[in-house]
Amino acid sequence: MANPTALCETSLGTFKVELFLDKMPITAANWIKLARAGFYDGLHFHRVINNFMIQFGCPFSRDPASSRAGTGDGPDGTIQDEFPPELRLSNEPGTLSMANTGAPNSGSCQFFINTVHNGYLDWWDRRTPSKHPVFGRITEGMDVIKKIETTPTSRGDRPITPVKMIKVTVLD
């Protein structure tokens, strides 16, 4: 069976993702469950860094001006880290990766989309203690990701003009 895909409609356009349910079942299933429940609908990209990544999924980002954006977990709390030793999915451009606090098993609902190769964030890379499992990839709409990535930001890497996720629809 093919992996599930999702359509992400934002205020700057639409992109499509493939979720690696076959390789990263805990992380991908968590994302799919949240998306199907409408958790991501109406949230804003709260951290955008050109030539690095765009981050999304904090429940406090419903208000794009919230000082708490980037600090929230999903309704079910955190999930177990997923670092399968036999699988090395790198933080390549266009991949979805689980955000976390840096502590073990601290991922929840927030994720980022890599806009460049961020190999130092791979779980097996020893250059930094940051470890972020890749659980999906952009299959259509990288131009939209680039639009979001290059939107002007203020201090704190927050878009000056909020970028809203209108709706996430899991297609299969």
The predicted model scores a pTM of 0.97
Annotation says 83 is catalytic = no
Annotation says 132 is catalytic = yes
One of 46, 47, 137, 158 is an active-site residue; which one?
Answer: 47
Domain boundaries, given as residue ranges, for the chain? 5-170
The answer to whether domain 5-170 has CATH 3.40.50.150 is: no
Q: How is residue 150 written in tokens?
A: 């290059």
Q: What's the pLDDT tens digit per position in 15-52?
A: 999 999 999 999 999 999 999 999 999 999 999 999 99
d(CA 29, CA 49): 27
- pLDDT-derived band at 155 (thresholds 50, 70, 90) equals confident
- pLDDT-derived band at 92 (thresholds 50, 70, 90) equals very high
Annotation says 112 is catalytic = yes
Q: How is residue 151 written in tokens?
A: 């939107």
b/e per residue, 76-85, with b = 16+ CB within 10 A? Answer: eebbebbeee
Q: Which amino acid is at 69?
A: A
